[in-house]
Structure formats: C-alpha cells, structure tokens
Amino acid sequence: MYSLPDIGWTHFFQQQLTEDDNDLKPARVATLSRGIFRLLTERGERTASLSGRLGYESEHLIDLPVVGDWVLARISSDSAVIERVLKRRTKLSRIAPSDQQRLTEEQALATNVDVVFLVTSLTREFNPRRIERYLTQVWESGARPFLVLNKIDLVESPLDYAKQVEDMADGLVLTSAATGSGVDEIRRELRPGLTVVFVGSSGVGKSSLINRLLNDDVQTVYDIRGGDDKGRHTTTAREMLLVPGGGVIIDTPGLRQLQVLADPSALGKTFSDVEGIAEECAFSDCTHTAEPNCAVIAAVEAGELDDGRRRGYQKLQSDLAFADRRRDRAAQLAEKKKRKTISKTNRRRDKQRGRGRYR
C-alpha cells in the first residue's frame, strides 16, 4: 500500500480527474522494461501494460508514459491497464538517440521531478562544458538543478573544482560515496512527497550515493576502469526508489552523451554571467566572435570571463538552433505521414462503400 501524497500526488494531478475517470485509479510509474510497467498504487504494486487505445493514439515517444509519470489505470487484483497519462508538472528530456541524424524526436528521461541531482566525479570525467550542457537541459525541465561533485576523496583540492561551476546551479555539494562525506547534505533535500532524480555519466557514483541515502545496497555497483576512469553501467533502466523517512528517488543509467533539446531562454540560467555581459554589446544579435565593441570578448581579454564559458555558450546556441531545424523537419514528416494514413483510410472506406473510382 502506498500513500499517494507521500509519493508525489498533488492538487496539480487531482484537478485533472473527470467524471469519466470514476472507474480508473491513479498510479505512478516506478519502472518500465520492454513495454511492461510497474506501478505504485494505493492497493500496492501492480504490473501493467498500455491499453490498445493509448498505444494507438501515442504518435511520438514523448506521448508514452515513463518513470515518474502519474497515470490512470484500470486495476485488478494482480495487474493493471494504463488508460491515460496525466499532464506532467516537470519533464527532463533529451533528443532521442536515432540513426536518422536529420530528424529530432524528444525522449523523456523522468517526469514530475522536483530536484535534479547532476552528479559528476572529480576525476578525469570532470568537464565544465559537459556540465553546462546537462544544466541547460535541467533548467528546461522545470526542476531545480543541484550539482553534486563526487569522489572528493580522490583529489587534493576539491574546492578548486567547485569554484569552476559554483554559480551554475541552485545548489552544490561536495561528496564522497566511499566515505559518506556530504551525503547528509543531499538527504536534507529529501522529504515526503518530493521527487528527485540522479543523472550523470556512467561511473560517476550515482548508484553508490543512492545506496548511502537508502542505507542499503539496493543498487549494484561495479569498479571503474583503472585506465581511463570510465565506469561500467551499473543502472540499466530508470527506477523509482522510496527513501526511508520520506522522498522518492529516480535512478537513471549513465548517459554517454546528451544532445540538448531546450528553449534558448534556458541558456540564460546556465550562462547568466555571459548574458549579463552581452547586454553591453554594441549589437543585439552579437555572436561574440569578431564583432566590434563586443562586451563579451572584451571581458575575456580583460580576464573577467573565462573564454571556455564564451565558447561553451556559442556551442550550445549553435546546437539548439540545429536541434530546432531538425525538430521542424521531423514535425513536417510526421504531418505528411499522418495525412497519408488518413488518405489511405478514406480510400479503403470508399472502396468498401462502393464509391469513387472503385465503383
């Protein structure tokens, strides 16, 4: 049995219910594997599948339920059928990996999350430019970003790393999953009804930190490779875990890459320093590359702004513009396919009725 408010149910979801939903029960998606869902409900856990109607009407990946979603399900004694996905309060997503490089489709990683703990390790994996990309996507999600710099026991001066990224997120904590240092600071962010998600590259220590928070070896942990500090994937699927004392954690597999899919306004939160300086540029459309009277270039030359920040800002601007073009192309092709399907259905119907050119 689960108390719905304890696992994230709020008025935001309650107000979406209608009289037509009387036979359905709210449930939260805890895991998803090969089309089979595990739901948390007031009646306990249930294994569930999508209704045929919901599967048919879901035209894109983003329409399908993922871990963190609240759904309405038809629940029996030992199973359930998901009939509807409720509107999401927040959504952490990315460009779905695809062989069709000209197209863009959004893929949700976790939904209805309050805080995103972005974990990076203070080894060769530490990369401020990568952190900027992750944070831009987190700001876009609507959740609060919280930076976790892990494995401080492996470096001499953790604060030197922290200074490079301390102004990028809502909060920052230095941790060591090996010693437990800093874990209590993360635990203070957890409470009943709050949902957090841990994201980051493989091998940064997400699963080890989660085990510390749960006071149990729930998540399997493997050693990293000695040659390059790379870790093997310990988490193979997104999974929701309940924290003793309150709170919900979503663990995610390590991301090998993150193609950002965000509104350009999200850049202003990750790069508030750059955009603040850019307001003094002579041209409103300044690219901060070679324009005269560019305040950003002047700040770099004066040592007031790290040139890596300028270049990271430019790269993300370019990537977001490219993603928008790909997304528009994908939308055009999807609409073309939809019209083709409708036309084909209409021709088949006319043939059955004996009308048109089929008479």
Residue type, 306: D
Q: Tens digit of pLDDT for each residue in 151-193?
A: 999 999 999 999 999 888 889 999 999 999 999 999 999 999 9
**158-162, 202-206, 268-272: which has the minimum mean pLDDT?**
268-272
Enumerate the CATH 3.40.50.300 domain ranges in the chain, comma separated: 91-251
45, 35 Cβ separation under 8 angstroms: no
CA gap 59, 95 in Å, rounded:
16
Architecture of domain 271-359: Orthogonal Bundle (1.10)
Enumerate the CATH 1.10.40.50 domain ranges in the chain, comma separated: 271-359
CA gap 230, 123 in Å, rounded:
10
> In angstroms, how far is CA 75 from the centroid of its own chain?
28
- Residue 289: which pLDDT band, with cuts at 50, 70 and 90? confident
pTM for this entry: 0.79
* Homologous superfamily of 91-251: P-loop containing nucleotide triphosphate hydrolases (3.40.50.300)
* Homologous superfamily of 4-85: Nucleic acid-binding proteins (2.40.50.140)
Which position has the higher pLDDT, 356 or 11?
Answer: 11
Q: In degrees rounded to 5, what are phi and psi of residue 129?
A: -65, -40
- Residue 245: which pLDDT band, with cuts at 50, 70 and 90? confident
CA gap 113, 343 in Å, rounded:
41
CA gap 244, 356 in Å, rounded:
67
> In angstroms, how far is CA 266 from the centroid of its own chain?
14
Question: What's the pLDDT score for residue 80?
Answer: 95
Enumerate the CATH 2.40.50.140 domain ranges in the chain, comma separated: 4-85
Question: What's the pLDDT score for residue 160?
Answer: 94
CA gap 103, 261 in Å, rounded:
12
> In angstroms, how far is CA 309 from the centroid of its own chain?
23
Q: Tens digit of pLDDT for each residue in 62-93?
A: 899 999 999 999 998 889 999 999 999 999 98
CA gap 291, 283 in Å, rounded:
8
> In angstroms, how far is CA 158 from the centroid of its own chain?
27
CB atoms within 10 A of CB 308: 13
